Amino acid sequence: MTLKSMKFEFRSLGPITNATLELGDFTIISGRNNTGKTFIAYALYGFMKKFNSVMLSNSMDEFFDRIFQDAVSMSAGELGAQVIRDGHIGWATDASDLAEQQLRLIQFVSHEFSKSELHKVFAMPSAAFENASIVADFKIGFRDDVNVFSELSEGKELHLSYGGNNVSLELAESSLESEEETEDDFEEWIEITDEDVNRLYSYLLARGIFESQFIPVIFSSARHTIPLFINELDYVRGQWVRSLMERRREDRSDDSPKSRRPPEDISNYALPIHDNIDFFRRIPHRAEWINIKPRKDFSADVEKMLGGRFSSEKGKLRFTASGQDQPSFDIPLFLASSSAWEMSSLYFFLEYFTYENRRHFLIIDEPESHLDTANQIQLARLLARLVNTGIKVLITTHSDYIVKEINNLIMLSSDLEDKEQISREFGYRDGDFLNPHMVKAYIAEKGTLNLHEPDDFGLNMPVFDDTINSINRASIKLATRIAHKQEEKMENED
């Protein structure tokens, strides 16, 4: 399958009343404080992360039964029974039929996610998001040679195939088949559940969108504090486990939900923050076994920006200054500067979590936090390089420097006569460009998102330009008044 486009509509989501977002290869959401940027970033991540689990949940059984009733006038259970009886079943279909079913599936998953999972993404009671929703619309190209299977029991598999004009479900012998099995006893013990049929058909329609094509990764605005408090967080987690074990020992017969509830003073975190904490916990384990680092050149860019490198030694994260522009030192990460905390998550992601055969959807909330203006510009270039390798990127930002540099990278994609000379002059490298069609830019304001399409000159982002123009006008007016006053003083002295 090929994911051609991803659109989302958000309703009653925090400050967002109603907004539509189409993701690009590089998506930028800007706007003033408290306009809903983080709400959208969190909701997107949660939807991508939970998509497959919602699609394969029991709540989808009724949906798939309707799909099969429309296609072959059978339920999933009836399909399974006929496959057991006859060994196979098939029906005619085509890409347009599958596209219609796919749209119905994605909309149903959107509804189920909004109803049962969206409030959990924000670690809030369901009542707080009672009217909130996210509705997805994906366009996916279908391959004509899909063939997937699931293991039913020892020696037997259920296969699903799509050949461009028909779908077929059939039983097949497994390569692990035991010699004692015979065709006579085949029907006596084999079982095909609704879940078996639904799981395979969901794969045909949409499964794997955020599992094999785009793996969602988010770095929340709270990421820079996690290295400072990770030890305390782990201590609290250990206390929770010990407390839970003590409760169970006190009364092993009490297995009620109340007995399994964590202590009241344990804080809940929004899913992105929870996953960021988990990300830092996993780094030492990844560092121990990984020996292929295909994106080392990108993590080296972070080293250059910060004048040092990060490492994991004996389960502890460290920062080592290079000694080029400052004295060399090696310290625990929690003692490093806020800019080091800020960039450590991106560094470790590039160093240990990216592979050539996997694609990621990287969401960064306010990537400019704790970075000086020069490093904000370098970060914009690094993100463009990642986009040009196939990683999709979404950022929420207040940084005029990042947006201005993105404009430069868009202009750099034009066919300029002296492009090589300009690149050398300003330190641009291969991959430091962005074609306008790769970029989608939005301003969050007044409860919605306003799309600002880039052109050959980049992005027109009035949320920055108006503020900059206003402060420049004030500066000019104040400087003019001071100069006029000084002139009057000089005249009076004369």
d(CA 129, CA 210): 24
> Is 49 in a helix, a strand, or coil?
helix
Q: What is the pLDDT of residues 129-168, one digit of tens each?
A: 999 999 999 887 777 777 888 888 767 888 998 887 889 9
Considering only CA atoms, which of 165, 105, 161 is closest in space to residue 135? Answer: 105
Q: What is the pLDDT of residues 307-358, one digit of tens each?
A: 888 888 877 888 888 766 667 888 888 888 888 888 889 998 888 887 655 6
Structure tokens at 319: 């920062």
Q: What is the pTM of this model?
A: 0.85
Query: Which of residues 410 and 184 earns the better pLDDT score?
Result: 410
β-strand pairing of 2-13 with 16-22: antiparallel
pLDDT above 80: residue 90: yes
At 192 the pLDDT is 85
Query: Which of residues 208 and 436 earns the better pLDDT score?
Result: 436
Query: Which of residues 389 and 17 earns the better pLDDT score?
Result: 17
d(CA 83, CA 68): 14
Non-local (6+) Cβ contacts of 437 within 8 A are: 24
Q: What is the pLDDT of residues 211-227, one digit of tens each?
A: 556 889 999 988 777 76
pLDDT above 50: residue 373: yes
What's the whole-number average pLDDT of the chain? 84
Which range is most confident: 50-64, 113-127, 256-270, 476-490?
Answer: 113-127
**Angle subtended by helix axes 373-388 and 400-412, to nearest 10:** 40
- Three state DSSP letters for 30-60: EECCCCCHHHHHHHHHHHHHHHHHHHCCHHH
> Distance of alpha carbon 382 from its chain centroid, rounded?
18
**Angle subtended by helix axes 462-493 and 400-412, to nearest 10:** 110
Helices (H), 413-461: 419-426
Considering only CA atoms, which of 17, 5, 7, 8 is closest in space to residue 444? Answer: 17
Q: How far apart, in Å, are the Cα atoms of 196 and each of 68, 169, 264, 304, 467?
A: 14, 11, 40, 51, 57
At 267 the pLDDT is 57
Sheet holding 133-141, edge to edge: 16-22, 2-13, 133-141
